[in-house]
C-alpha cells in the first residue's frame, strides 16, 4: 500500500526560475576570473551547461553546491581546495541575497497537494537543495501545513541518488520502500527511485528533463497535476 509521496523540489514543485540560471552563470564567470581558468567551455560542460542549455542530468540542474565545489576544485590549483569550498559557499549566499530569486510554483500546487492529503497520503520533499533553501520554498509557497517531511542534501551529507539519503526517514516514520512513490523531473530522481527500490517511480516534464531523460520511470506525466489525475494508473 502506498503511504508516502516523495516529491523533488526544483522542476517538480517549483518552476525553474531563470534567475537561478543567471546566478549559476555569474558564479562560473567569477570563478573563472578569480582562479584564471583557461578552459571555460570544458568547465561549463562538466557542470552540465552545454550549447547554451542546462542539461537535465547535469550538476547545475540536479546536483548540489558540494558538487559544484568539487568540480571547481578539479579545475583550480590543487592547493586551493579548502579556499575554493569556502569561497563558493560565500559567493552562493551573496548571489542568492543579491538576486533574490522568486519562488514560482507549479500551477495548481497547493490544490493538488491538498487533494493528496485529503486522500490520506503523507507528503515529503526530497531535494538536492539544503535545508535553508527548502524551508524558504515551503514558506514562500505557503505549503507548511501540507509537508510532513523534508529530506535534504548538505555539503557533507548524502544526496540523490544515494539510497542512504532515506535511511533515517525509514526509521523515523517506520516506512518501507514498498510504501513510497518518488516524483521528479531529472534522471537523478529516477535513479534515486531505482536505487532505493521505491514502489513506483514517476517522471514529470515540468522541469529540465525530457521524455528520453526519464525513460526508466514507471510513468511519465506532464506535471504533478496530471500525476494526481492518473492515480488509478500508478496506485494499483
pLDDT at 18: 66
From CA 68, how far away is CA 60, in angstroms rounded? 8
SS3 content of the chain, % helix, strand, coil (to 5): 50, 15, 35
pLDDT digits (tens, 9 = 90+) for 183-208: 999 999 999 999 999 999 999 999 98
Pairing of strands 200-204, 180-184: parallel
Task: Look at residue 19 in the predicted model and tell me its pLDDT.
Answer: 67
Q: Can you give the residue ranges of every domain in the chain?
A: 4-16+104-234, 18-99
Q: Does domain 4-16+104-234 have CATH number 3.40.50.1000?
A: yes
Q: pLDDT tens-digit profile of 38-74?
A: 999 999 999 999 998 888 889 998 888 889 999 999 9
Strands laid side by side in the 180-184 sheet: 149-151, 122-126, 4-7, 180-184, 200-204, 219-221
- 75-115 pLDDT, tens per residue? 998 888 889 999 999 999 899 888 888 888 999 999 999 99
pTM for the whole thing?
A: 0.87
Q: Is the pLDDT of residue 154 over 80?
A: no
Position 155 pLDDT exceeds 60: no
Amino acid at each position: 500500500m502506498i503511504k508516502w509521496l516523495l516529491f523533488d523540489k526544483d522542476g517538480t514543485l517549483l518552476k525553474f526560475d531563470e534567475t537561478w540560471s543567471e546566478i549559476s552563470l555569474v558564479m562560473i564567470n567569477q570563478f573563472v576570473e578569480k582562479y584564471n581558468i583557461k578552459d571555460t567551455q570544458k568547465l561549463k560542460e562538466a557542470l552540465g551547461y552545454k550549447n547554451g542549455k542546462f542539461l537535465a542530468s547535469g550538476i547545475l540542474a540536479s546536483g548540489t553546491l558540494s558538487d559544484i565545489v568539487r568540480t571547481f576544485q578539479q579545475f583550480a590549483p590543487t592547493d586551493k581546495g579548502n579556499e575554493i569550498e569556502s569561497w563558493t559557499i560565500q559567493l552562493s549566499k551573496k548571489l542568492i541575497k543579491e538576486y533574490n530569486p522568486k519562488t514560482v510554483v507549479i500551477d495548481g500546487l497547493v490544490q493538488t497537494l491538498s487533494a493528496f492529503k485529503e486522500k490520506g497520503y503523507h507528503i515529503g520533499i526530497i531535494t538536492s537543495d539544503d535545508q535553508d533553501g527548502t524551508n524558504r520554498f515551503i514558506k514562500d509557497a505557503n505549503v507548511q501545513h501540507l509537508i510532513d517531511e523534508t529530506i535534504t542534501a548538505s555539503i557533507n551529507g548524502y544526496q540523490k541518488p544515494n539510497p542512504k539519503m532515506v535511511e533515517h526517514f525509514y526509521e523515523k516514520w517506520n516506512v518501507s520502500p514498498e510504501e513510497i512513490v518518488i516524483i521528479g523531473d531529472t534522471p537523478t530522481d529516477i535513479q534515486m527511485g531505482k536505487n532505493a527500490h521505491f514502489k513506483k517511480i514517476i517522471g514529470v516534464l515540468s522541469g529540465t528533463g525530457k521524455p528520453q531523460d526519464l525513460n526508466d520511470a514507471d510513468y511519465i506525466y506532464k506535471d504533478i497535476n496530471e500525476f494526481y489525475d492518473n492515480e488509478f494508473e500508478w496506485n494499483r
